[in-house]
Amino acid sequence: MKIAFENNLRFAKTLDRSDHLQSYRSKFFIPEINGKKSIYFSGNSLGLQPKTTGKFINQELADWAKLGVEGHEHAERPWLYYHKLSKKILAEIVGAKPTEVVAMNQLTVNLHLMMVTFYRPNSSRYKILTEAGAFSSDQYAFESQIKFHGLNAEDALIELKPRENEFTLRTEDILTAIEENANEIALVIFGGVQYYTGQFFDLKKITEAGQKAGAVVGFDLAHAVGNVDLHLHHHNVDFAVWCSYKYLNSGPGGIAGVFVHERNFKQTDPLRFAGWWGHQESARFEMKKGFKPMDGADGWQVSNVPVLQAAAHLASLEIFHAAGMKALRNKSIVLTGYLEFLLKENDPLEKYYKIITPSGAADRGCQLSLYIKRNGQKIFTGLTKKGISLDWREPNVIRLAPVPLYNTFEEVYRFMEIFKSLF
């Protein structure tokens, strides 16, 4: 049901009173600026700390102090099996089977590990097709993987740009590019949500087109996981990677994750960089030669679990499980829709700024990116001084991410009042 938004504080407070998720805000620490709680719209850079995070980590510290090495088997949450504890909830969040997901390493490490398996260029099919202006860690990974195979990035990397005077890629242009390069592409890989514009790519259509062309299809979900509806298994995605410190609120540098579709388990000994934690659990400590992978995505693990990071991860995942992704997404659509309404009503002719994020809820997550036409840096500085936490990206873009777990409609309204006063 479409809501008839109103531009007044009373209406914003009414939306908050009817918000079934309003109690979840109290589960997070809200940073203060100038002695007052900030309006924190930076969850797309670093999510807030759940108040239970310390409890989860302290449990592991206490078990370490009390048990030492015996904590691997006798801690309250035995460390040997820690990677299993997050599987069910991660599967709920990304639309997968528990066997298809595992929390491990960091995002770019995981991207490299996945590309070892899934980017297998040959003399005729060797190109990677992706978006121009992808997040730099992705760019570096693509370039170095291409060089690792003795290829030239200028030849092997196809980077798609929006049409002239447009900010986002059209799905039809992506599909056309895949079809035009069908005989040469080995890998199609995009960010699920583009970090700069906030565009949510059509994962289903991209996957179908890429696989029809004979390529493997993967996604970097750093800005998508915990933010938008994902159906990785149903959409037949080959693999995906993500971090957990943005919308998943698992702490700076928190443990990341991977998805591998179950059909890829059935390959005969797929090439991978093996490590001992991916070896069969029952024989892991026999220290024998010959890698025998665990079933499922677990077989791509290389190292044992960083338990303190994983504990912080669990604290946040429990909140996601309780709230439910469907409810979070429903609120997010309305929350960001209200922000969009206020922004457009304030500047309908786009004299001062332009929203470069797609307008349709199906084509974006919670983030809106504003292209500021004049004095952008000055306006950004003014907002931060007024107690608003947000993000500046060159050139001239302010990114706003009202997160449904802890942001309110009143905050959206109060942000807009401050924003208007700076022009």
76-116: per-residue pLDDT in tens? 999 999 999 999 999 999 999 999 999 999 999 999 999 99
58-321 folds as Aspartate Aminotransferase; domain 2 (3.40.640)
pLDDT tens figures, 316-369: 999 999 999 999 999 999 999 999 999 999 999 999 999 999 999 999 999 999
Q: Is the pLDDT of residue 21 over 60?
A: yes
The whole-number pLDDT of residue 268 equals: 67
**What confidence category does residue 34 fall into, taking pLDDT thresholds of 50, 70 and 90?**
confident
Q: Which two tokens stand for residue 195?
A: 């970090």
The whole-number pLDDT of residue 270 equals: 81
CA angle 47, 357, 143 (to 5 degrees): 75
Q: Is the pLDDT of residue 293 over 70?
A: yes
DSSP labels, 144-180: HHHHHTT--HHHHEEEE-PPTT-SS--HHHHHHHHHH
Q: Which two tokens stand for residue 371?
A: 């292209």
Q: Is the pLDDT of residue 1 over 90?
A: no
Dihedrals phi, psi of 102, to nearest 5 degrees = -155, 140
Do 217 and 128 contact (CB within 8 A), yes or no?
no
The stretch 405-416 carries a mean pLDDT of 98
Q: How confident is the prediction for the chain on average, in pLDDT?
A: 96
Neighbours of 286 (CB within 10 A): 8
The whole-number pLDDT of residue 266 equals: 78
Ramachandran bin of 296, using left for φ above 0, alpha for ψ from -120 to 50, beta for the remaining angles? left
The whole-number pLDDT of residue 61 equals: 98
Q: Which two tokens stand for residue 102?
A: 């595992």
How would you classify the pairing of strands 391-393 and 36-37? Answer: unpaired
The whole-number pLDDT of residue 181 equals: 98
Bridge partners for 392 per DSSP:
398
Amino acid at 140: Y
The whole-number pLDDT of residue 2 equals: 78
Tell me the H-state helices in 213-254. none
Q: Which two tokens stand for residue 78?
A: 């035995």
Share of the chain above pLDDT 70, in %: 99
Q: Which two tokens stand for residue 380?
A: 């950004």
Domain ranges in the chain with CATH number 3.40.640.10:
58-321
Q: Which two tokens stand for residue 343?
A: 């922004």
Report which of 208, 193, 134, 201 is spatially closest to residue 170, judged by C-alpha positions: 201
Question: Rounded distance, CA 366 to CA 75, Å?
Answer: 38
9-49+325-421 folds as Aspartate Aminotransferase, domain 1 (3.90.1150)
pLDDT tens figures, 219-255: 999 999 999 999 999 999 999 999 999 999 999 999 9
Query: b/e string for 315-338 if b means 16 or more Cβ within 10 A?
Result: bbbbbbeebebeebbebbbbbbbb
Whole-model pTM?
A: 0.96
Neighbours of 141 (CB within 10 A): 25
Domain ranges in the chain with CATH number 3.90.1150.10:
9-49+325-421
Amino acid at 302: V
Bridge partners for 101 per DSSP:
259
Report which of 228, 177, 163 is spatially closest to residue 363, judged by C-alpha positions: 228
Amino acid at 174: I
